[in-house]
Amino acid sequence: MTQLQAAPLKTLSFSGRRSAVAAARPRHATATFRCSAAARSYIITLLPGDGIGPEVVAVAKDVLSAAGAKEGVELRFREMLMGGAALDAVGVPLPDETLAAAQASDAILLGAIGGYKWDSNEKHLKPETGLLNIRAGLGVFANLRPATVLPQLVDASTLKKEVAEGVDIMVVRELTGGIYFGQPRGFGTNDMGEEIGFNTEIYSVSEIDRIARVAFEVARKRGGKLCSVDKANVLEASMLWRKRVTAIASEFPDVELSHMYVDNASMQLVRNPKQFDTIVTNNIFGDILSDEASMITGSIGMLPSASVGESGPGLFEPIHGSAPDIAGQDKANPLATILSAAMLLKYGLGAETAAKRIETAVTETLDNGFRTGDIYSPGTTLVGCKRMGEEVLKALESQK
């Protein structure tokens, strides 16, 4: 008989595989977005993290402050350790005081996590474990990842101009369920005495319903089209996913719902990406497809993300990694973090006018021809991380 050794949480109970707090969440709850910046003073927790994280967060902080000041929004910042930096300083990737500070704030801006230095650490001592834990601690379950091809950067896409031009996709990824968190998981031996590793893809009705509602709401505010991506021809978890998304669709008659298998979706994203408006999918498929969609834009250095939950602060971060090979060299592209700051204002604080100021300043900076190395092309001006931030600030400060 195959011998299985489950990881720390050993129960096989599907309903009990996650925290009691998560299990107690209301069935029909959905993500919370602030509608207006009624309060004018907010606490922002900064998590610079590792690699280029401190560089891009420092730039984004200045832009965030300037945009807030333009609209009379006071932002107070506190910087905390997380990831490899926390491991080096205190021996854990997410110190208790960091999580407490994040939970007590109005929004969190994260730089980047990880690096070669910690790759050989045991799982619980990897920087990425800190990221998973803070997502769980904040209760964020919906990850919003836009992939928009800006007119100034259409030639940076690896796709033909006529394919990439005009692409504007939002991927809504379920963030706290599925195979990344499912139990049982771990290592064991099979009947042949071979070592095996195993994971469990599992979703409950409540988990699917809440992410579906977020996606329908997002699609309603965009182009009114939602594509649900699954593997319902093979996986039981996907069969339930499709059943529930279809059921939730009745609550949103103004949104056009379609379904697509994940293998076809990955092909269609490079064949005809403009057919998509909003995509909703599970954790692992969303992890992969959102990265694929990001490369249509030409550089992951341009793309922000937001992770939100039923209540409490959201987590806002660029989708790029820590890029340790260029850390400290002033080569990083800070625009993804700056645009994450705009999402923080819009979705986290309800300060949409301030968010629009940042987006407009980024567009103007690109119109003026400034480029970091990852998006540089002949005829444009090559600048570093700090200079790019200065140009965005200059464009921001020139606004009336």
- Cα(386)–Cα(294) distance, rounded to whole angstroms? 24
The token duo for 171 is 């991927």
Find out whether 236 and 203 touch, Cβ atoms under 8 Å.
Answer: no
Alpha helices by DSSP H, the chain: 20-23, 53-70, 84-90, 96-103, 127-138, 161-164, 205-221, 236-248, 262-271, 283-296, 335-343, 352-367, 385-397
Alpha carbon separation from 254 to 167, 258, 280, 281, 369 (Å, rounded): 22, 13, 17, 20, 40
| Catalytic status, residue 231 | yes
The token duo for 34 is 């602030």
The token duo for 363 is 């567009």
For 131, list phi and psi in degrees, rounded to 5: -65, -45
Find out whether 183 and 200 touch, Cβ atoms under 8 Å.
Answer: yes
Q: What is the dihedral of CA 317, 237, 190, 195, to 10 degrees?
A: -10
Exposed, middle or buried: residue 302 (CB in 10 Å: 0-12, 13-18, 19+)? buried
Alpha carbon separation from 100 to 20, 95, 105, 117, 299 (Å, rounded): 19, 9, 9, 27, 34
The answer to whether the peptide bond before residue 378 is cis (omega within 30 degrees of 0) is no
160 Cα distance to chain centroid: 27
Catalytic residue of the set 263, 325, 367, 394 = 263
H helices then E strands: how many in the chain?
13, 15
| Catalytic status, residue 291 | yes
Catalytic residue of the set 117, 168, 274, 291 = 291
Find out whether 181 and 148 touch, Cβ atoms under 8 Å.
Answer: no
- Cα(194)–Cα(286) distance, rounded to whole angstroms? 32
User: Residue 362: which residues within 8 A CB-CB, separation 6 or more?
Assistant: 335, 338, 339, 342, 392, 395
Catalytic residue of the set 168, 180, 274, 386 = 180
Catalytic residue of the set 42, 287, 331, 346 = 287
Alpha carbon separation from 7 to 120, 139, 176, 183, 185 (Å, rounded): 18, 22, 17, 8, 6
Catalytic residue of the set 61, 126, 231, 331 = 231
Q: Active-site positions?
A: 180, 231, 263, 287, 291
